[in-house]
Structure formats: C-alpha cells, structure tokens
Amino acid sequence: AQTVTQSQPEMSVQEAETVTLSCTYDTSENNYYLFWYKQPPSRQMILVIRQEAYKQQNATENRFSVNFQKAAKSFSLKISDSQLGDTAMYFCAFTLYGGATNKLIFGTGTLLAVQP
Amino acid sequence: NAGVMQNPRHLVRRRGQEARLRCSPMKGHSHVYWYRQLPEEGLKFMVYLQKENIIDESGMPKERFSAEFPKEGPSILRIQQVVRGDSAAYFCASSPPGQRENIQYFGAGTRLSVL
C-alpha cells in the first residue's frame, strides 16, 4: 500500500522569503505521479504543481518548484518570494500511473502562514 | 468552462436523516472521485466512478454510504441514517477520459454537519 507523510504540521515564513515543505512517500511501484495541492481558507483545493516519476527534471511553476528525489522517495515543495496569498494548507499527494484506480493518496498537510 | 460544481455548500442534518451530496463534473470529464476530509486531517479517498459504473469503492464505508454517476445528471453521494461521525467536508473531483497524468480538478466541497 502507498503512504504519504508530511512531517511538518505547521510552518511560518516572512513575506518575500523562501520556504520548503517536506513530503515523503512509500511505494513499491515505479510509475506514478506526485502533486502538491493548496487549500486556502476558502477550502477550495487548488493544484500547485505536479511531477511524473519517470522524469528526472524537477518541475517548476513560477515561484513554486519541487525537489524530487526518487531513490529517497522525497518530494519537497519550495516556495520562493513568499506572498501573503500563499497562506494555506498544503497537501502532498500520490497516484499510480496505469493502475486500475486513479485515486489520490494525500498526506496530512502542512499549514503555512506567511507573515507580513 | 465552469469548474466542478458541488451543492449544497453546507448541509445540516439531524442524526438518522439522509444526506445527498451532488457533484457536476467539468464539461467533458467522465471520471468522478469523492473524498472526505475530517477536521484537522487530509483528504481520504472514498469512491471513483465513471459514467454509470463504480470503478473503485475501496474507501467507502460498507454501511449507509452509496454513490452513483448516472448517464445523465450529476454524481450523487448518499449517506443514510447519518451519525455525528459523518460530519466532515466532502470533496468531489473530476478528470477527463484517457488522461495519462490523472490531474483531478476539485470542487469547493460540501460541509456536512450532523446535529
């Protein structure tokens, strides 16, 4: 069975600084996808960034980038130039590629507070 | 293209009543997923449906819970004889057919409160 672990329940960062959120996962499969979702106070789930396991290059989306270490089963999210609007709960998620089910497996989340 | 629509946004039920949660996927999406988020927790998978078929219901309780996605109309998550432990936010997500990346687009959720 696959599991996703986020070991930082809460984090805080000053506006304009950089913060890294950690995520580790466990799977015996080789082909999968990893995601970071953001859940602001509105509770809407918003996709931040995704990574295919077969790609060695780390994904980037504007101020958001990941450090994907497949051997270590680690998938951290780096937010550069933090903005007040980045304040949210961040969830790491995993899904198998080509499996019978497409379900997402989520971690327990990291609550990020961006301080002015 | 409207996003995933869930209604109602908030639903209050007394113990023993039925709750019906609706989800209209994005246009062109034929895959629907339901997740439950208990207070202070992450989302937990419940069920995955394609039009008229349940593909994976491994995360759904065997008793009192059911889901459907008819040929016409929204997907429905139905909870019979609700109990206080059913109080949670229920999220629906959808994805298009044949998408390798399995990017799921989420609705805003339905917050169920059981009194």
Nearest CA-CA distance, residue A68 and chain B, Å: 17
Task: Reply yes or no on whether the pLDDT at A64 is more than 70.
Answer: yes
Q: How far apart are CA B56 and CA A3, in angstroms?
A: 18
Q: Note the pLDDT tens digit of each residue in B15-35.
A: 999 999 999 999 989 999 999
Contacts of A95 in chain B (CB under 8 A): 102
Q: What letter would DSSP give residue B47? A: E
> Is residue B2 over pLDDT 80?
no
- Per-residue pLDDT tens for B60-95? 999 999 999 998 899 999 999 999 999 999 999 999
Nearest residue of chain B to residue A94 (CA atoms): B102
pLDDT score at B1? 55
Q: How many CA atoms lie within 13 A of B36 on its CB side?
A: 18
Count of other CB atoms within 10 angstroms of residue B10: 11
Distance from CA of B18 to the nearest CA of A (A): 24
Closest CA to A34 of A93, A91, A82: A93
Contact status, residue B74 vs residue B24, Cβ threshold 8 Å? yes
CA distance linking residue B7 with residue B106, whole number of Å: 13
- In 3D space, the residue among A90, A97, A51 whose CA is nearest the CA of residue A74 turns out to be A51
Q: What pairing do the DSSP bridges indicate for beta strands B110-114 and B10-13?
A: parallel
Asked if residue B78 lies in contact with residue B23, where contact means CB atoms within 8 angstroms, the answer is: no
